[in-house]
A and B are shown apart, each in its own frame.
Chain A
């Protein structure tokens, strides 16, 4: 209950609007069963910035609450909780990730992503050309392994450090407790099943079909997620083969990197294509409109990375292979370089939030947990 007026001032417009809407939600509670946001909302009588940030990152934008809302516009209360929480969520990433200006540039537009991708491609193409290798040359004649490691190691490590620092800052703001193993398990289960896109009844969310439910986005998202993990495993297995077994690339179709990579690539291509189609059908006013272009850019980048990787698999030994390789590696480099600034960070913040939520929902489970 909002009995404490001291909390209401000194907040940004997005925080004030989200708080206004949640006070109405908290007095209604019809949507209690849709997702984790409402039970979490009911835990606190007063919602400060920390609680609102937690709720905003817990929201998976399933939109179930909005299509059921008796107070949505044109009602005078004009509730649009998915959009209100999306704004708070965006703001929280811009607050915790550094440099904030890059977060804003990459989230709000597509230009920065495209420029990075072209620059990375050009640099890698130039590097490959310097070697002067011909198309039929073995894989590492085009781009030597040591060069690639020298380029990709910092390109991967630095962004990960930036995201880790942002998560640490976020964790301090919204939680502060030590991480409990049971909560990590619960959060992992939630991600694996994408529980919060099931709308409580399992028929999925209100995304691309208006007030009808659909699991399309839930499945498309998991295709991207699993595809990404498989591609990551492909790279990891190749690294093991390279260093432990002295078995350098290229690998044949029956090898672990190829099996994992091709499967993952196909899932990524299909998943990201589906995500784009669904997004085109969804109502843009139920999310943060200002980041719509950045979101499209990110999904396209994921899709192009997978598409070029898959093409590469079949194009070995042909002339465009060098350009294609540079383009694919340019996409991969962009994906990692821009990790802290694109929609990619939602995964890290979402997982952290689900862990925090599991701890808050069952505080006793903390006993015996490890950090």
Chain B
């Protein structure tokens, strides 16, 4: 399959900017339609795959049990889940398109070498809705690259695209610099943009968030700098979404600046009290089960002074959540803990005492909302409120961890990118670069991979049809 491979400078049937899940889904689909495909991946081979290498699951609609997914998960329930987390800030047409297509995607993924495993321990609440990749996202990325190679897709690593040449309503090629060499132009009949959000461009984050952005950690690849996104916006393409909106969770403050991935997350919040730099609580830690609340805590911590929080538990709770990669700070009393954390011991002591006094007796149940709530405390802790009174005490430092930004290109149901004067004739976008078309705010676990897979396949199919 695949046409004869063109010379490096092209013209290629389809040039794909980016090398993660969405890019690969587009590449496989287009190559299987017989087109010559070039993938320009900014990362070196060892870091290929963008944020996809850190992912672990795919949220999938299914009208009957399918693969590792139990029971059923229909379009309406899926869309309701999305509407709740986005507070209605979603494009219903595109969102429903993604949801409906996921059902067909899962068998397609399996045919292209992706293996699934039953829900990971500690994530049993997702066993009905989310299919987990065996080995995680890097195994998925490896599988797709292997199929791509078998299909004759060409891949260039360390290939940074900094300009898309648009003439009228058409892209004629891209400027790419490979391994730091001078930029050269590559001609293309169609272009698919799948190069992610801009979260690794810290200057851009700072423009959006102000100085607070300096304290943000980036959970994924350092290569998603939004260069192509900015280039398209600068050329007059309309953007969708708010630049401060992103997938942002509270992670361990000791995580590396980039690429810390999954193992820096902290699941202890519901069993803890979370205080800010001043030793005060600021939000209901027990509002709902963790999978439904983890994605709001990044923004909550981002809104606190110095963008820092401290999650404090006592020894009753140490075995209730998955271990973090960093050991907690440990102390035998609250004053010592405060000193180790750099907090005012008196204020922290007062906060803990007030919280403990507001707790009441009742049945504690760690995996469901147990209604064990504080009384007369502001903010309350609505569930799992047990006094912090059994030494030793432990604390984790929380920082906002950005997964990906939502500001993106505007696309239609065929993944075609909106240009300055209406739709561009031969430019498609897929994945995080256009996720803002669907996610206005909030996040639903496994939905990023759903958007990338569905829109990657659409972009590949449409681009292939265009150059036929």
Inter-subunit contact A34/B134 (CB<8 Å)? yes
Minimum CB distance partner of A30 in chain B: B136
Main secondary structure of the interface of A (DSSP, over half): loop
- If the complex has contacts A200-B134, A201-B115, are A67 and B142 also in contact, measured as CB distance less than 8 A? yes
Known: A2-B323, A68-B136. A30 touches B115 (CB 8 A): no
Q: Which residues does chain B contribute within 8 Å of A75, judged by CB atoms?
A: 259
A71 at the interface (CB under 8 A from B): yes
Is A31 among interface residues, defined by CB-CB distance under 8 A?
yes
With known contacts A28-B263, A29-B120, A75-B259, A68–B327 Cβ distance under 8 A: no
Alpha-carbon gap, A2 to B329, bound state (A) = 11
A-B CB pair tally, cutoff 8 Å? 100
Q: Does A3 contact B (CB under 8 A)?
A: yes
CA of A5 to CA of B259 in the docked complex: distance in angstroms?
A: 27
Q: Does B56 contact A (CB under 8 A)?
A: yes
Give per-residue flags for B137-171: 1 if the beta carbon is below 8 A from chain A beta carbons, else 0: 11100100110000000000000000000000000
Contact A70 B134 (CB under 8 A): no
Residues of A within 8 A of B86 (CB): none
In the complex where A68-B136, A70-B53, A201-B115 touch, is A27 in contact with B323 (Cβ < 8 A)? yes
| Contact between B263 and A27, CB atoms less than 8 A apart | yes
**A28 to B135 Cα, complex, angstroms:** 10
A254 adjacent to chain B (CB < 8 Å) = no
Q: Which residues of A contact B118 (CB under 8 A)?
A: 33
Judge whether B137 and A45 touch: CB under 8 Å: no
A64 proximity list for chain B (CB < 8 A): 135
| Most chain A CB within a 10 A radius of its CB, from B135, B146, B322 | B135
A68 and B323 contact, Cβ closer than 8 Å, known pairs A28-B261, A76-B256: no
- Rounded to whole Å, the gap between the CB of A250 and the closest CB of chain B is 52
Q: Is B47 an interface residue (CB 8 A)?
A: yes
User: Could you tell me if A34 and B135 are in contact, using CB atoms closer than 8 angstroms?
Assistant: yes
Instruction: Tell me the minimal C-beta distance from A207 to chain B in angstroms.
Output: 15
B428 within 8 A of A: no
- Tell me whether B328 is interfacial, beta carbon within 8 Å: yes
Question: Using Cβ atoms and an 8 Å threshold, which residues of chain A touch B120?
Answer: 29-30, 32
User: Is B319 an interface residue, CB under 8 A from the partner?
Assistant: yes
Please report the C-alpha to C-alpha distance between residue A228 and residue B366 in the assembled complex, in whole angstroms.
52
A211 CB contact (under 8 Å) in B134, B142, B330: B142
**Closest residue of chain A to B392, judged by CB?**
A3
Do B115 and A68 touch across chains, with their CB atoms under 8 A apart?
no
Cβ contact within 8 Å between B121 and A68: no
The reply on B362 being an interface residue by CB < 8 A is no
Q: Which of B50-70 contact A (CB under 8 A)?
A: 53-54, 56
Q: Does A49 contact B (CB under 8 A)?
A: no
* Cβ-neighbour of B323 out of A5, A45, A201 (below 8 A): A45
B138 contacts across to A, CB distance below 8 A = 67-70
Chain B residues whose CB sits within 8 angstroms of the CB of A26 once the complex forms = 322-323
Pair A32/B263 contact, Cβ less than 8 Å = no
Check B244 for interface membership: any CB of A closer than 8 A.
no
Contact yes or no, B135 A1, CB < 8 A: no
Those of B250-265 within 8 Å (CB) of chain A: 256, 259, 261-264
Contact B146 A212 (CB under 8 A): yes
Which residues in B have their C-beta under 8 angstroms from that of A74?
A: 46-47
Query: Which residue of chain B lies nearest to A46 when distances are taken between CB atoms in the complex?
Result: B323
Interchain CA distance A166-B135 in the complex, whole Å: 35
Chain B residues whose CB sits within 8 angstroms of the CB of A212 once the complex forms: 146
Binary interface encoding of chain A residues 39-62 relative to chain B, with 1 for a CB under 8 A from any of its CBs, else 0: 000100100000000000000000
What are 14 A-B pairs with beta-carbon distances under 8 A?
Answer: A1-B327, A3-B318, A27-B264, A28-B325, A29-B322, A32-B121, A33-B115, A33-B135, A34-B135, A64-B135, A70-B136, A70-B262, A200-B134, A201-B115
